[in-house]
Structure 1
Amino acid sequence: MWVSSSAFEALLDSGACACPVRLGQRLDPSGEYVRRYVPELARVPGDYIYEPWKAPIEVQERANCIIGRDYPAPVVNHLAAAQRNRNAMKELREMLQKAPPHCCPSSDDEIRQFMWLSEEGQATATVGSN
C-alpha cells in the first residue's frame, strides 16, 4: 500500500510513484533477475534490459527479441501514468482533508480484536507504546 500510495496513514503515505524501470536498475543493475525469469530478454544488452523497447532494431535482432513480436511493447507510458496518478492522489487527499477524520482503534482491546492478537501480542501493539 505504501508504494502504491493507497495508504492514507500519514506514516505510510508516500507522494512518490515508484518507477519500475528505475527500481529495477537500482535493485538489480546487471538485470540478472530479469534474464533469469524473462527468457525473452536473456540476450538483451544491459543498457536496454529494463527498457528493451528503446533498443535499436539491430540490437533487438542480435538479441533475438523483437519488441512487439517476441516481447510486448509497453502498455502505458510510465511517466504520463505516474503524473496522472500523482494528480489523482493529490485531488483525493484534498477532498479527504475536508472530510471528518477517519476512524481508528480507540483502545488496546479494540486493537487486539482488530489485529487478532493474543494477550501476549497485545503488549507489543498497544496504543501509545514505544
Structure 2
Amino acid sequence: MTKIIFHLLNIIFVFLYIYPGSLLGFFIYGDILRQPQITSNFIVSSNHVYAFFLLSSLGLISYFKSLKIIILYLILISIILELLHLFIPNRSFQFSDLFGNIVGVLIPVIILIL
C-alpha cells in the first residue's frame, strides 16, 4: 500500500511542478500566481522541505530493500523537477527551492541511518 501511495505522490509532485503556476494557489486563493506558504521560510523554502520530506519518507519505507536506488532517485527527482522551472512559464528556478528539495530528501535518509 505504501508503494501505491508513493507512486501516486510522485505523479502529483510532477504535475504540480510542471504546471505553469500554482495549482494550490488557484484552489486556495483563486490566483495561480500566489503560492500558499505552510510556514515562513528560513534559508530554504520550507514548503519544499516538507514536500520532499514526505515523499522521501514514503519512498524509503516503500523501497527499504533498495535504499541506494531510492535515495539516488529521490535526489535526482528533487533536482530535475526544480531545473524544469527554468523552462516552464510562470515558474522560476530558485536555489533556495532546490536546496529545500535536497534537505527534504536528506532529513529522512539521515534519520534512517541513525
Question: Fold conserved (TM > 0.5)?
Answer: no
Q: Which structure's residues are more often helix, by fraction?
A: 2
